[in-house]
Structure 1
Amino acid sequence: MVVERSVALMDNVLRNVTALENGVADFEDMVFSSVEEDPELSSLRAEDSEAVRLRKVSQRLQHILKTHVRDYSSKSKQLASKYGRPSRLIRYWIPAVIFILSSSTILRILVNRKAEIVTWIQDFGTTVRDFWSNWIMEPTKKVIGTIRHDKDSAIAIMSKESLKGDRDSLERMVVDFAVDNPNSATNGNAPLSEAQIAEIRLKVKEGDLTPVLRAYEKDLRQPFVGTLRGDLIRALLIQVQKTKVDVEVALSGIDSLLKSQELVFGFIGLTPGVLVCFAAFRYLGGVFGSRRGLRRGRKAGQTVRVLRNIDRILTIATPTQENILSYKDHGLLLCEVHILRQGSSKLFPGDIEREFLEDVNDLCNINSGIQQQLKTLDRIRWGYAKWLK
């Protein structure tokens, strides 16, 4: 009789579940009383054979599938269309009316400011294009050129051959001065030998201008005479050239430092454009993804409420002698779990969804006992808290 009563219960539930005028308590009383007074159950006699019982149950199941399930689906759709979300016409008729009434004003504004609007659009496009070209593409090309040691991308504050030319010029000036004034170089009037000239060249490369400085010191004793008859002006000009070489040596050191940090400067030049692009794409992603995030947050909120309902069912349930849920509480639990399964496909990633469904199956296992089900519910809460926020 258990199977027959279950089929009769299913039949009466499908008949009366769409009757909204009855409350939950009245619905339960009506369903169970209908089962007790079910005429088909009353027609079953104890002496009926097993084949007769199976035939009657199968006929009733076929009738339920062909008639009651179809009627239940159609009535459910009617109730959903009647009491569910209204149509687009009802939801948006106020904004549509406002737009229609103000369309002439909007059109007149657009026509009167057509040239300005076109100019704004063109300026915006030009700004975006120039920004992309000058602050993204050009710095990127420079960084790539620096990595490849491209000559055009090298950072320099002086030409490559400038120092060499000025140093060679200083060397020739000092050598010519020493040849013309051998007494300043060797304290004698004998012509300089090739070895002495080579030694002077070596000292000039090291920054030693002793022959010039000796003549300069000598002529400074009598500046006027040294200017007219001596080599004071020549020595002074050689020292000016020496100062120029020293400045270029210092600049060469700075130039070497800059060249060693070319890649750093390239990335510094690229950073502002990258940051602006990142902020722009992040903002646009937030604008266009806000609806998706809103739907996801709403789905997470619904899942949390379903978990709350499951917790309430397990907490206030009256267990049987075997410490398992009664049929009523088990049915309520299955309804909530069904809603939970439907929402998991859009809330969790693939692997996480599979693990979540495993925990949900453990939650539905009434043979494990209410305490074990409560522990499973707690595991679901802390294990998937990241996606339920």
Structure 2
Amino acid sequence: MSLVDDQVQRLDAILDRIQLARAAPPEAGAETEEREQQTQGEGGNENGAITAASSADSTHAAKLKTLIRALSTTASPRRLLRATRLREAIAQIPQSGDASASSINDEHELEWLAIGKAAIQVYGLILNVLLDQTIPLNDSIWYWDDVLGSYAYTGLYTLQVSPQKFWHSAKEVYADAKRRYRQNNLIRESAQEAGQTLSEGWREFYGLVQQSIEDRSLAHARTRILSPFALCRTEARHKQENVKKLREQSATAIGLLVEEGLTIQEDDPDSHKSWKNNVSKSIWLLEGITTHAQSVKSTWNEFEYDVIDMVDRGPTDQEPSQLVNRLLHILDVHIPEQERQSERMTKEFGKPSRWIRYWAPGLLLFLSSGTLLRIFVNRRAEIVTWVRELGATTIDFWYNWVIEPTKRLIGTIRHDENSELAVMSKDSLRSDRESLERMVIDFAVQNPENGTPYTESQVAELRSRVRQGDLTAVLKAYEKDIQSPARGAIFGNLVRALLIQVQKTKVDVEIAMNGIDSILKSQELLFGFVGLAPGMVVAILAFRWLSSTFGRRRGIQQMQQQGGSVRLLRNIDRTLSKATITQDGMLSYKDNGLLLCDVHVLRQTAIKLIPGKMHRDFIEDLNDLLQTRQGVERQLKVLQRIQWAYSKWLR
């Protein structure tokens, strides 16, 4: 909700509370009922006339109540009605007809209430129009500052406006030559000369054009002392001064509108009487602002004086019908004319249009379009192949480095057996250990140490030691046969003992691999994220680059918004510090209007920067900042609070 919506809603709520305060007490209903019962015994014709009048009165009152609801701020989510809808509603406000005195009085109050709500809507519409016209003027002032602050920008501006100046000069030369040609024709006709041929006419006209150019050159010989560069700087300075005047005048209009328009006070004991005069005076103020804002005054003080003088000379005891006509006249005549004049002055004094500023790059692009098209046609096959390969590479990268790692990561989280990391198979170690156990037991049973066969208990004990890695029975035989390797290899058990040790080494290696496998499984989720990270990083960087190149560049836009908010705070501080203080210690209308413009823009910017809960506090502080009746010192303190309390988001 904008600043204008808040202002309109506040005024509408005050008007509603005033009407509720003056509502009739409950006892009035009983007296009315008794009065109706006393009149029931009278003649039938009179009773029928009263019933018809009451029916007409109720229809009239119902229509007024419907219009009041339509003009209220609670009628729709939009606080302000559109200009066409508002005009239709105001034109439908009926006037009191022939009825009883009490009915006319009640309907008269409803008419005033409808006019008051209509005036509030027109007030908000004009305030919106003035804000929309004033705020963009800052861009024009900054543009002329750039042009005047740098010789490079001045040269660029000279190049940009050169076609426009040439066109205006050509039109003036053509108009002057045409005027001289018509004068010569009149002289010949008066002298009764014979007609000339077409070629002779064109030759004469061409000579007149040359003569006009020579005369213009002599007439502008004094200005030729200044270069086109200096003339453009003078022109830019003149336009900047007019834009500043237009901005100050519009700010004064906003200040007048906010400070003097619809200043309804609900705590006034005579508010039910004074608010009507206030509405009538405010309508004159609306008309005065829209009337005098159609031209640039020499100073903003002159504009302020003209508007206040018009309001003071206007009558305050007008009837509802006259006020309705004035509101319709404002909507039909003054607002459209003021918008047209403002657009004309902005176009005349503001920064040039885009056609003027970018005609040189556009012309260069147009002239080189043939070469660019020829290059595209000659290398069409290469470009198509490059685009196709780029698309295939992008798809493969997305699938192989983003989709597949993501699937494996999800499978790891869900303990999917197909996605588990493993260096070796599950049953490999178990089968090798059982094979080693059988080999050692068979070797020990076939080759007992003392020649005595092993008993069942000894075999069980031996099996237990082998499971713990004890191969003493095999190693003793190996140590015995290794003393005579050749004889042990042929007649002994050297080869068999050696192969058993190879199996033992294999089992040891598998045990170590199993430990590594356990470590991998314990960190399987981490490895899943590590596998997914490169693809995600590249994808995120690519998306950020694409969004920053072809999108709105939200990061840069946010930095620009923060920089703009700092500049707005600086403008507010500068306005309050250099303000023209009235005798009451308050801001002048011009400074108050400038403050309102900056606060309006700052409020819209803060919607994207400050979070929800803090944003409500921020709006409350901005409302405190706009309390001009508290004095400039209080406003500066509020500004300091805003600067330190919300610096996290505004800087």
Q: State the TM-score bracket (shorter-chain normalisation).
A: 0.7 to 0.9
User: Structure 1 residues 80, 207: closer, same or farther in 2, change over 3 A?
Assistant: same
The equivalent residue for 2:607 is 348
Q: Give yes or no for the alignment of 1:143 onto 2:409.
A: yes
Aligned alpha-carbon RMSD (Å): 3.6
Candidates 320, 326, 342, aligned match of 1:62: 326
CA distance in 2, matches of 1:267, 1:292: 28
Greater shift, 87-96 or 61-70, is seen at: 61-70
Inter-CA distance 76–387: structure 2 relative to 1 (3 Å threshold) = farther
Which of these residues, 242, 250, 255, is aligned with residue 517 of structure 2? 255
Q: 1:207 to 1:293 in 2, by over 3 A?
A: closer
Answer whether contact 2:440 2:474 (CA < 8 A) is retained.
Answer: yes
Residue 132 (structure 1) shift: 0.9
Indicate yes or no: 2:428 matched with 1:159: no
- Structure 2 counterpart of 1:28, which letter? N
* Unaligned ranges ≥5, structure 2: 1-276
Unaligned runs of 5+ in 1: 45-51
Specify the alignment match of 1:207 in structure 2: 469
2:413 maps to amino acid? I
Report the residue type matching 1:358 in the other structure.
E
Seq. identity, %: 46
Aligned 8 A contact 1:155 1:259 in 2: yes
- Equivalent AA in structure 2 for residue 138 of structure 1: E
Match in the other structure for 1:334:
593
In structure 1, what is the Cα distance between the partners aligned to 2:417 and 2:285?
89
**Is the alpha carbon distance of 1:319 and 1:137 closer, same or farther for their aligned partners in structure 2, counting shifts above 3 Å?**
closer
Aligned with 1:23 (options 293, 298, 320) = 298
Tell me the matched-pair count: 368
Normalising by the residue count of structure 1, what TM-score does the alignment of the two structures yield? 0.79
**Post-superposition offset of 1:161:** 1.9
Distance 1:285 1:307 in 2: 30
1:75 aligns with 2:346: no
Contact 2:478 2:497 in 1 (8 A): yes
Looking at structure 1, the residues matched to 418 and 556 of structure 2 have their Cα atoms a distance apart, in angstroms, of 51
1:125 pairs with 2:391 = yes
Q: For residues 31-89 of structure 1, give each alpha carbon's deviation from its aligned partner in whole angstroms, at most 9, with x where no partner exists.
A: 648977x8x94xx9xxxxxxx76249996993873654443233112223333454444
Q: Please list, as runs of the form range in 1=range in 2, the aligned pairs for 1:95-244 lying within 5 A after superposition.
A: 95-182=361-448, 184=449, 187=450, 189-244=451-506
* Cα deviation code 1:174-219 (max 9, x no counterpart): 222222222x2xx1x3333222222222221111222222222222
Alpha-carbon deviation of 1:376?
1.6
Matches within 5 A, 1:270-349: 270-289=532-551, 304-317=566-579, 319=581, 322=584, 324-325=585-586, 329-349=588-608
Query: 2:529 — aligned with what?
Result: 267
TM-aligned CA deviation for residue 377 of structure 1:
2.2
Which position in structure 2 is the counterpart of 1:48? none
- Measure the CA separation in 1 of the matches of 2:428 and 2:307: 109
Q: Is the 8 A contact 1:171 1:204 kept in 2?
A: yes
Q: Which residue of 2 aligns with 1:93?
A: 359
Verify the 8 A CA contact 1:341 1:357 in the aligned structure 2: no
- Shifted more, 213-222 versus 6-15: the winner is 6-15
Q: Compared with structure 1, are the counterparts of its residues 90 and 213 closer, same or farther at alpha carbon in structure 2 (3 Å cutoff)?
A: same
Distance 1:312 1:197 in 2: 101
Quick check: 80-89 or 368-377, which moved more?
A: 80-89
Task: Map Cα deviations across residues 295-345 of structure 1 (whole Å, 9 max, x no partner).
Answer: 6666655655554454344334565565x226xx14431343144214522
> Normalization by structure 2: what TM-score?
0.50
| Deviation of 1:366 (Å) | 3.0
